[in-house]
A and B are shown apart, each in its own frame.
Chain A
Amino acid sequence: MNARRNQTLSRRGFLVSGAAVSAAAFAGTENDLASRSPGTPFIDVNVNLSRWPTRRLPDDTAKRLVDRLRSHGVTQAWAGTFDGLLNKEASAANDRLADACRREGAGMLVPFGSINPMLPGWSDELQRCARVHDMRGIRLHPNYHGYALDDPLFDQVLRQAADANLIVQLVLEMEDERPTQRLLPVGPVDAAPLADAVRKVPGLRLVLLNALRVVRGEALKKVLAAGEAYVEIAMLEGVGGLGCLLDQVPAERVLFGSHAPFFYFEAATLKLEESDLTADQTDAICYLNAARLSNSTG
């Protein structure tokens, strides 16, 4: 039995001990678990290393995060760095990220370097990510770095990344802006220009992170239809949210993302249980789509 199922059944076992919820409900849930392919891994496309700027997080060391992810059956995690948000020495931040990913996790952590196109030298840094660190992709934070998605610089970054065969992870927000620190108010990225921006760049592979509070419904469909674009589920909300999402967009464009360690990792796995997914949908979201995307690079 794989770690994911172990974890899930452990929670389920906890619930069942003395629970008075209807037997029919549990029968349904166990059937759902049984329908999943045994031994299926998770590829988590949305984790971060280093320290969140305004408070300590429970798993904010690489070792603790790796332990947490591994305990849930994650076999690969695409990792950015919190240092990339505010640190203006991007090379150092990316060096530390690459080093941490080499040292911890025995290959589980896959680094995605931060690129800030508002800093001189961003293009060189993008090339360093590709050639020196052999990264599979980069991560962008337009709201922290201060540019809009219709800025020509954004277009340049997308083109250079596509030319370098790098996946681009575009982070639309890091946290709910409403309760944020008064000294660090960062609103979400305005995604209105995104579909046009994607359409203009051939060969682009784009993953939207923390996007589903910002881009939904028709706007999301447009972005995903504009090119090879994907969305992950970390900020998906609502009752049966994943099922509702799959009513709107193809499962082939949905990836598993947790936003750990900022979010409790379990928020992502429990979404898979909350909605009534087929085994094919679950496998596609949990690892197949990300594996295909990852293998399509260099």
Chain B
Amino acid sequence: MEIWDAHCHLNGVPGATPESRLEHLLRYADRMGIARLCLCMGMEFSQDPSPERMRQENDAVLRAVGAHPDRALGFVYLNPRHTQASLDELDRCVLNGPMIGVKLWVAMRSTAPELDPIVARAAELNAPVFQHTWLKAAGNLPGESTPGELAELAARHPRAIFICGHTGVDWGAGLQAIQACPNVYSDLSGSDPTAGFTEAAVRMLGAERVLFGTDAGGRSFATQLAKVYGADLTDPTRQMILGGNLKRLLGPILTAKGIHQ
């Protein structure tokens, strides 16, 4: 059984190059027994990247993945405001490159029609779409999606696979929002290790729809692993969450690309 981290960044990590930052992450991942890291976005975050900036960020991830193809997987970062450029980038990095998923952050809410062609293309490529979500008490950013908005997108694209990034952080509400969407998975990453999160996710969605992730380097591998090790779960359920589910989701695209699983 391997542990696969569904959500990692190069940002917030020491190192002058993408390769050195990934090596830094891997040193700690090794200490914590994490075998694979899914990387997205570049050396510095950009909320509304231009097409050129998008390519720069993805190039950084491509360099890191290229240095450690056995340890890192790439999600292509897209900005739906630049729909055609995003489709071109999707083809460059996923169809014709080694990346295996799509990352959408806070440029546009997932209810926007501009996402539709991107999601449709991702589904054709068997690439899961990781959509960052939050439920902030004081209100989200203008382009920051809620789990409920992701659920609307998922209903329009039943063949696509979505990962609900951070499950809205306010996970009690986030889990309810995606509960009825069988093609939406809960990502545990990027929030405090509040007790009860993982048990609630398993109870409401079923263990097969819950994915371990960290949001490192901003977050610690330790605190995010604790959401699985500290939860009242059976060992088979832990195995599913820590890696089994993500491997299953990514299986078709990894197989198509000949990437070792």
Q: Determine whether the beta carbon of A239 is less than 8 Å from that of B195.
A: no
In contact, B196 and A237 (Cβ under 8 angstroms): no
Write the chain B residue with the least CB distance to A183: B137
A178 and B218 CA atoms in complex are apart in Å by 16
Q: Tell me the minimal C-beta distance from B254 to chain A in angstroms.
A: 15
A179 touches B170 (CB 8 A): yes
Q: Is the CB of A28 within 8 A of B30?
A: yes
A181–B195 alpha-carbon span in the complex (Å): 17
Contact B220 A55 (CB under 8 A): no
Proximity bits, B1-25, A CB within 8 Å = 1, else 0:
1110000000011000000000011
Q: Which residues of the other chain, A, contact B195 by a CB distance below 8 angstroms?
A: 57-59, 260-264
Question: Is the pair A182, B196 in contact by a Cβ cutoff of 8 Å?
Answer: no
- Going nearest first, the 7 A-B pairs with the smallest beta carbon separation are A264-B230, A25-B30, A270-B222, A267-B226, A179-B170, A266-B230, A266-B226
Q: Which residues of A contact B170 (CB under 8 A)?
A: 179
Q: Does B209 contact A (CB under 8 A)?
A: no
Please give me the residue from chain A that is nearest to B172 by CB atom.
Answer: A55
Can you offer 12 A-B residue contacts whose CB atoms are under 8 A? A15-B33, A22-B30, A28-B31, A29-B30, A32-B31, A59-B195, A179-B136, A239-B216, A264-B193, A264-B226, A264-B229, A270-B221
Interface residues of B in 199-235 (CB under 8 A from A): 199, 216-223, 225-227, 229-232, 235
User: Does A35 sit at the interface, judged by CB under 8 A?
Assistant: no
Partner of B235, one of A14, A16, A238, A267: A14
Query: Is the CB–CB distance between B220 and A19 below 8 Å?
Result: no
Q: How far is the CA of A273 from the CA of B227 in the complex (A)?
A: 16
Answer yes or no: A175 CB below 8 A from chain B CBs: yes
Residues of A within 8 A of B259 (CB): none
For B135, give the chain A residue with the smallest CB separation: A179
Q: What is the size, in residues, of chain A's interface with B at 8 Å between Cβ atoms?
A: 51
Query: Which A residues form the contact surface with B (CB < 8 A)?
Result: 11-12, 14-22, 24-26, 28-29, 32, 55-59, 175-182, 185, 235-241, 260-267, 270-271, 273-274, 276
Q: How far is the CA of A236 from the CA of B220 in the complex (A)?
A: 8
Contact of A270 among B12, B27, B35, B226 (CB under 8 A): B226
Please report the C-alpha to C-alpha distance between residue A274 and residue B221 in the assembled complex, in whole angstroms.
Answer: 7
Q: Are B137 and A270 in contact (CB under 8 A)?
A: no
Task: Say yes or no for B32: interface residue by CB 8 A criterion.
Answer: yes
B12 touches A238 (CB 8 A): yes
Is B34 close to A, CB under 8 A? yes
Complex CA gap A238/B3 in Å reads 19
**Is the CB–CB distance between A267 and B136 below 8 Å?**
no
Contact residues in B for A262 (Cβ distance below 8 Å):
194-195
Residues on the B chain within 8 Å of A182, using CB = 137
- Which B residues touch A17, using CB under 8 A? 1
Check if B28 sits within 8 Å of A239, measured CB to CB: yes
Please name all residues of chain B whose beta carbon is closer than 8 Å to the beta carbon of A16 when the two chains form the complex. 33
Nearest residue in B to A18 (C-beta to C-beta)? B1
Residue numbers in A under 8 Å from B32 (CB-CB): 270, 273-274
Minimum Cβ distance to chain A for residue B247 (Å) = 12
Q: Are B137 and A240 in contact (CB under 8 A)?
A: no
Residues of chain B with a CB closer than 8 A to A179's CB:
134-137, 168-170, 191
Considering the chains assembled together, what is the distance between the CA atoms of A164 and B221 in angstroms? 41
Q: Is residue B238 contacting chain A, with contact meaning CB distance below 8 A?
A: yes
Residues A19 and B1 in contact, CB atoms below 8 Å apart: yes
Question: In the complex the two chains form, is B31's CB within 8 Å of A176's CB?
Answer: no
Contact of A271 among B33, B216, B223 (CB under 8 A): B223
B138 close to A (CB within 8 Å): yes
If A14-B238, A266-B226 touch, whether A237 touches B219 (CB-CB below 8 Å) is yes
- Of all chain A residues, the one with the shortest Cβ separation from B33 is A15
Q: Say which residue of A29, A175, A236, A266 sits within 8 Å of B229 (CB atoms).
A: A266
Contacts of A21 in B (CB 8 A): 2-3, 30, 33-35
Q: Which residues of A contact B218 (CB under 8 A)?
A: 237-238
Q: For the complex, what is the distance from the CA of A188 to the CA of B168, rounded to whole Å?
A: 21
Counting CB contacts under 8 A, is B124 at the interface? no
